[in-house]
């Protein structure tokens, strides 16, 4: 093998390693986002459950104009 081929292979291997590291980082971010979405949904369900005991008609005539 000539030196140019070896150098080209080394550069290609380094680029591949960087792409793999970037893909792993993106997968971790996606997992973190999914966990955050689950947390928001669960908290929303808890808020709805706390409003289940409110009398009917409460909040129907709220004026939201500024």
Predicted confidence (pLDDT) per residue in 17-33, tens digit: 888 899 999 888 888 89
List pLDDT tens digits, range 54-64: 777 776 777 77
What pLDDT, on a 0 to 100 scale, did the predictor assign at position 66? 64
Distances in Å between the Cα of 55 and the Cα atoms of 28, 50, 58, 59 are 44, 12, 6, 10
Q: Which of 11-15, 42-46, 48-52 has the lowest mean pLDDT?
A: 48-52
User: Whole-model pTM above 0.75?
Assistant: no
Domain ranges of the chain: 1-43
Which residue from 28, 9, 32, 4 is spatially nearest to 20, judged by alpha carbons? 28
The DSSP symbol for 18 reads: H
Query: Kindly report the CA angle at 46 between 30 and 33, in degrees rounded to 5?
Result: 5
Calculate mean pLDDT across residues 6-25. Answer: 87
């Amino acid at each position: 093998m000539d030196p140019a081929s070896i150098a080209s292979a080394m550069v290609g291997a380094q680029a591949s390693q960087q792409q793999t590291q970037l893909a792993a980082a993106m997968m971790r971010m996606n997992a973190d986002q999914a966990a955050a979405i689950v947390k928001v949904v669960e908290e929303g369900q808890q808020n709805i459950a706390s409003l289940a005991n409110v009398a009917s008609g409460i909040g129907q005539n709220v004026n939201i104009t500024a």
